Structure 1
């Protein structure tokens, strides 16, 4: 038996009567998602009331049960039921209701299938193509999304194509080029659609085709009035194309035309900073402050610029104001410490660094700087007491501070004090690997290879997968002993755990060199140098090349390293040892 229903609202009315006021959970409303709404600039006209088709008693029962389930909060099951019912009945009213449930459940697969079904049944309706555009954008199927976006326009809708550009930044150039070709075709078919040309400009810029992007931009501004957004887009393309001067001119003119637009002026300020025109940038930041005297982010930027320009008095004034009103306060205190340090006001610097609060971005760096300055001033007890007070009741922080303090003591030649600190800490926290490694660094500094090896083996015994300890011991044995086979075993264990670590790759190459395996050594050392162009790795690469008879290549590597770091002792040592004239 089948039942003719002229309005699906009748079904919902019957359901509402059955459940009365006992329900607290509402089924999904017939509204577009926020993301879909971003695609549409003009809403579609309301569709006429849908005539629903014939339903069997079983299908009607299924719809009622689904609505009841939704009222009880079982939305996922209701969505599955409506999905099956939509495929079975191919009724537009059921399809639309199924879409609402699929959207509420974030069921992307159901949304796609329902959208395709809807478009097939009602090919003159733009709404399913709008929905499919969004779904294909979300799944990264941009070509399909573009096709449905074009269909929306063909059916009289209005859609914002810039949603496409917002998602294509990470595409490879070849895939993006296909989309660019499709967009060019659409600009010919829909020459009055400004968002298509805007998206074409954006994708061309993403693909590095800056001159083409600028040509399309000129066509775009024939369709639309110039706006702050377009000014910034043109300037960004010019900057990316290497024409910084023209980018600045465009932004300067834009600011003159849209003087009250804060975002545009902020973009202009940032562009000036990017091009190291700090004084001009400061003037624009000052104009922003006139527009909004409580724009603390702009005040922070002005303080940073003052610091960069070494206008320390003004920078201190502005950072102090920010700290006082608790706006970017801990960053302000950190930079106050830096400024006082530059002015050799060390007590003030220590005080400012110590005011940086725990849990903030610069907390550890600030405490390290304060500790360094206090130790350099000979105030070892004050430095230790402050760190102890901060870490009281927090074992992990106490251990971290012990490693920081020991490192500072070693750097400043307080050798007995560093050893005493680490021994005391290890008595309190025996077998703590971070403390053991800190003591390894101490032993390395004083040339106690036996002490280093003992602590490293203890770490490896407790944590056999600690690639840092395996590599450190392996490199030490390769570089300082003739136990090269043992070193190779340790380093191969380390690289099996961390195959992309350039320090371990360097160690592997170095031990292979010590074992006379020059070709393998050079391949690994060159790979390490590509990943991490460090002077020590450069010294290794050059030495192996030299021993292989590739003297000119070795010299080229060493010269390149010295260009980046002219005072590198590591490069100087290998050059002198091998008696090379660069």
Structure 2
């Protein structure tokens, strides 16, 4: 604890610390209990004033004397009952010196004086002050000593247990945390207990060892998981803890216990949505809960998981339900609009985006802020898809008046390409300043994307090669270059790059799927293709593009009925030209040429330049 300087600046000069402390031992006659401070109030620190007020207690207040007699003058006027402070002269001067010591930097003295007073008075306020002083001096062990003394004196005080747990966490003494956390939970109101239990995993995020954090959650919640009330919440906390620890099987087992106890608990469905990636069967738990007891918080979490897995149409349906219940829900409106733009549902997307701008204009204090930059960017995409480049450019200028945002200037560059100004578009991107380390990566990806959309594959490859030299071993750049190499027919280069990506990120679903699809499309090493695509699906179940890869693999393996079934499932999720082209070829081989032509016509209308469609039509030569 630091000790700094001498005490100065009080109305009565204290000659020495010893003289002041001796005053604490001088007894005062009982009849002369002080009722007012002899120090000018302006000289007393705010902390001391709070301490004085905190010690006023009805239990210590003396009853007002009654005057007997019948005359009105003999009866006192009744006002609010006076509540006397529990503070005596000795405590008053002790706290005063503590405040002066704290003000002058002598935190060690201040801490000792407050802690002694807290123990004598059994005062939660004084214990907390002692803890605060220790924390201000970065003295964790002293803070823990005060918090433990607080718990000993007031075992039912919830704050004492919570402070003890927080200090132990800060000190990294996780093995000692379970008991004070359990005490905090026991001393909490029963109605608050489920929320506190399910919030434990997020409270323990500071513990970097996720395995230890999960074990600590189980140690803490054991009394409640064993039947001491709030069982479902306790098991849900355990499930989330193990999920965060990267052990989805243990998480699923704990979630099963929570589901059996209370299948309609929202927290159960929220954890289930996070488990969908590794345990697809948990989706049935969510849909069953929504059928029985629909709740918007669950729908939002479920929608996010569906969208992350590429199931845009399913996600949009959940968001539609949320918006129907909460027309002004900013999060749901923004996410739904973005999904609708991706699905080319332009009219409803524009309606929702204009609604967001209206909400922003009329926003009241306390209401959530709206990311107008994203709204403008999405409106620009709508205008671009409607072939209205001038409108799109206006929205982009509103989104980025300073013309300094890479993401938005990339969209402006795309508009320039549509006007035949590729050179100007590339120059626009290259002259953008790089203010963060990854800005160079983003700029290279954006420039390569422009060239890919223009089917200038060699130029795109050169841009990515140069970027990979500048940013070696960047998995995103290697993946992009692999996709360009595949378009050019450089399959060895593509495979080498994708395997490098998988060495860095073994569970990268996009890289697994890209390599698996390439093998299936070339009709080579089909068992390896199946392994890669299966691993990708395990990461993103029901992703329409990965499902399309599986369907195309089944076609290459000769299982036409199953191929058509799987491809149709993918097309239901995403009406993409690639998927439609594949369904058309399967139908063609089954003899349903009219059905094949319908899919091909639809695919050509959606994406006239689609490479997969062009290759199939050139090979099969149907009459469209």
TM-score band, normalised by shorter chain: 0.5 to 0.7
Q: 1:346 to 1:531 in 2, by over 3 A?
A: same
> What secondary structure is seen at the aligned counterpart in 2 of 1:166?
helix
How far apart, CA to CA, are the structure 2 residues paired with 1:154 and 1:297?
36
Of residues 285, 294, 319, the one that matches 1:247 is 285
> What secondary structure is seen at the aligned counterpart in 2 of 1:192?
coil
Q: 1:295 to 1:320 in 2, by over 3 A?
A: same
Q: 1:264: how far off?
A: 3.5
- Counterpart contact for 1:78–1:101, Cα < 8 Å: no
Structure 2 counterpart of 1:285: 319
Structure 2 counterpart of 1:334: 377
Deviation string for 1:396-425 (max 9, x for gaps)? 99xx99x989x979988xxxxxxxxxxxxx
How far apart, CA to CA, are the structure 1 residues paired with 2:303 and 2:475?
39
- Counterpart contact for 1:322–1:332, Cα < 8 Å: yes
How far apart, CA to CA, are the structure 2 residues paired with 1:179 and 1:324?
47
Structure 2 counterpart of 1:211: 252
1:150-549 equivalence runs, <5 A = 150-151=182-183, 160-169=196-205, 171-172=208-209, 174-176=211-213, 178-179=215-216, 182-183=219-220, 185-187=222-224, 191-192=228-229, 194=231, 196-206=234-244, 207-208=247-248, 209-218=250-259, 220-221=261-262, 226-237=264-275, 240-256=278-294, 261-274=295-308, 278-323=312-357, 326=360, 327-358=370-401, 363-374=405-416, 377-378=419-420, 530-531=503-504
Q: 1:227 to 1:293 in 2, by over 3 A?
A: same
Q: 1:282: how far off?
A: 3.5
Q: 1:166: how far off?
A: 1.8
Q: 1:114: how far off?
A: 0.6
Structure 1 counterpart of 2:5: none
> What secondary structure is seen at the aligned counterpart in 1 of 2:167?
helix
> What secondary structure is seen at the aligned counterpart in 2 of 1:80?
helix
Q: 1:138: how far off?
A: 4.5
Q: 1:78 to 1:264 in 2, by over 3 A?
A: farther
Q: 1:500: how far off?
A: 8.0
- Counterpart contact for 1:5–1:53, Cα < 8 Å: no
Q: 1:24 to 1:228 in 2, by over 3 A?
A: same
- Counterpart contact for 2:164–2:180, Cα < 8 Å: yes
1:95-174 equivalence runs, <5 A = 96=124, 97-103=126-132, 106=136, 108-120=140-152, 128-151=160-183, 160-169=196-205, 171-172=208-209, 174=211
- Counterpart contact for 1:334–1:352, Cα < 8 Å: yes
- Counterpart contact for 1:82–1:94, Cα < 8 Å: no
Gaps of 5+ in 2: 1-21, 62-84, 361-369, 452-458, 479-497, 509-524, 537-545, 550-624
How far apart, CA to CA, are the structure 2 residues paired with 1:383 and 1:123?
69
Deviation string for 1:233-273 (max 9, x for gaps)? 455456653215413423422544xxxx5423433443554
Q: 1:337 to 1:174 in 2, by over 3 A?
A: closer
How far apart, CA to CA, are the structure 2 residues paired with 1:126 and 1:332?
45
Q: 1:77: how far off?
A: 3.5
Q: What is the aligned length?
A: 417
How far apart, CA to CA, are the structure 1 residues paired with 2:502 and 2:415?
34
How far apart, CA to CA, are the structure 2 residues paired with 1:282 and 1:245?
16
Of residues 51, 59, 82, the one that matches 2:110 is 82
- Counterpart contact for 1:168–1:176, Cα < 8 Å: yes
Structure 2 counterpart of 1:19: 40
Q: 1:21 to 1:369 in 2, by over 3 A?
A: closer
Q: 1:254 to 1:266 in 2, by over 3 A?
A: farther
Q: 1:276 to 1:297 in 2, by over 3 A?
A: same
Gaps of 5+ in 1: 32-45, 413-440, 446-451, 453-467, 473-497, 506-524, 535-552, 566-582
- Counterpart contact for 1:255–1:265, Cα < 8 Å: no
How far apart, CA to CA, are the structure 1 residues paired with 2:271 and 2:319?
20
Structure 1 counterpart of 2:610: none
Q: 1:311: how far off?
A: 1.5
How far apart, CA to CA, are the structure 1 residues paired with 2:146 and 2:41?
31
Deviation string for 1:436-484 (max 9, x for gaps)? xxxxx99x98xxxxxx9xxxxxxxxxxxxxxx99x76xxxxxxxxxxxx
Structure 1 counterpart of 2:589: none
How far apart, CA to CA, are the structure 1 residues paired with 2:421 and 2:188?
77
**Structure having greater relative contact order (Cα 8 Å, sep ≥ 6):** 2
Kindly indicate whether residue 98 of structure 2 is the aligned counterpart of residue 66 of structure 1. Answer: yes
Q: 1:190: how far off?
A: 6.5
How far apart, CA to CA, are the structure 2 residues paired with 1:298 and 1:145?
38
- Counterpart contact for 1:116–1:132, Cα < 8 Å: yes
How far apart, CA to CA, are the structure 1 residues paired with 2:189 and 2:176?
17
Query: Considering only aligned residues, what root-mean-square deviation do their CA atoms show, in Å?
Result: 6.0
Deviation string for 1:523-558 (max 9, x for gaps)? xx9988733899xxxxxxxxxxxxxxxxxx9xx99x
Q: 1:334 to 1:178 in 2, by over 3 A?
A: closer
How far apart, CA to CA, are the structure 2 residues paired with 1:149 and 1:87?
23
How far apart, CA to CA, are the structure 1 residues paired with 2:311 and 2:475?
37
